[in-house]
Amino acid sequence: MNAESLDGRLLFAIPKKGRLHEKCLELLAGADIQFRRHHRLDVCLVKNHSIALVFLPAADIPSFVGKGNVDLGITGHDVILEAKMEDHVTEVLQLGFGKCALQVQVPESAPIQSVDGLAGKRVVTSFEVLAGEYFREIDDRAQLSGDSRTKIEYVSGSVEAACALGLADGIVDLVESGDTMRAAGLHAIATILQSEAVLIKSNTPKHPALSPLVQLITSRIAGVIAANKYVICEYNIPREKLHDATAITPGRRAPTVSPLEEEGWLAVSSMVEKAKTALVMDQLVAVGAEDILIFNLDNCRV
């Protein structure tokens, strides 16, 4: 595929592997972005839109969006900060997956059990920019200078093994479930930041003519995210109990309220968070709601 075949197409960068890749493919399918990626090719054309998908390492995507010709991208919030691209890209949507924490970790049995105790010691990480900024403040607070300041060393992988193998006194690494951390005999003593996958665009639009397509794809992805997060709750409620019930189900913007043929009764339809479904139903029963139904969403526009 040559550069000419990409002319006039919106360039959309997707992580080519790793923790975000599979979720991104599900998101594209939900947004009806149809494509076929040939084996070992990192660029493919979308069949039903003027879009080219570019599969890149997640760590590179902020730079390609912020300073290159890529219009949209999906990456981690942590990666944007590590690449120092927060002034060049806008986080358009939080996508609700890839949630993790960048944490300072030390061996559970080690004498050092605080970040202040790590000042002046050896710290290994694949996030040397964020770790460097974090420990710079700690070193300044401890009034350390020269060779006595914390030594940040970069490794590209297997960060959690650095302490056991004698390379570090502590590490800075991403934690999702924490299983890998615990298996390595480590525990977290501080959190530098919380992160999740985000949809980003450049602060300087590369192809103004493609702005409507950018908005369309953003709207579709927002709809997929909302459909995964919310369900529709419908119920009947006496009119005098409506205020109490809608306080429980306020919806994303407002509930839909319709009169029933039986005098004094109303039908209410509202979006509620999927994770709170059981609690919401219990609360509705307590205020007098009846015929409470929950419907899953396949897709929506919000």
User: What pLDDT, in 10s, does the model give residues 10-68?
Assistant: 999 999 988 889 999 999 999 999 998 887 789 999 999 999 999 999 999 999 999 99
Count other C-beta atoms under 10 Å from residue 106's C-beta.
26
Please determine, for residue 7, whether its predicted confidence score (pLDDT) is greater than 80.
no
Residue-range domains of the chain with CATH: 3-97+197-206 (3.40.190.10), 100-195 (3.40.190.10), 230-296 (3.30.70.120)
296 exposure class (CB count in 10 Å sphere: 0-12, 13-18, 19+): exposed
Strands 100-107 and 186-195, bridge-based pairing: antiparallel
Taking only the tens place, the pLDDT of each residue in 205-260 is 888 899 999 999 999 999 999 999 999 999 999 999 999 999 999 998 899 999 99
Confidence at 8, pLDDT banded by 50, 70, 90: confident
The phi and psi torsions of 147 (rounded to 5 degrees) equal -70, -10
Please determine, for residue 118, whether its predicted confidence score (pLDDT) is greater than 70.
yes
Taking only the tens place, the pLDDT of each residue in 136-157 is 999 999 999 999 999 999 998 8
* Mean of all residue pLDDT scores within the chain: 94
Nearest to 65 by CA among 225, 200, 178: 200
Contact partners, residue 64, CB within 8 Å, separation at least 6: 13, 54, 56, 70, 73
Cα 212 from chain centre: 24
Please determine, for residue 5, whether its predicted confidence score (pLDDT) is greater than 70.
no
Please determine, for residue 279, whether its predicted confidence score (pLDDT) is greater than 70.
yes
Nearest to 71 by CA among 51, 55, 85, 57: 51
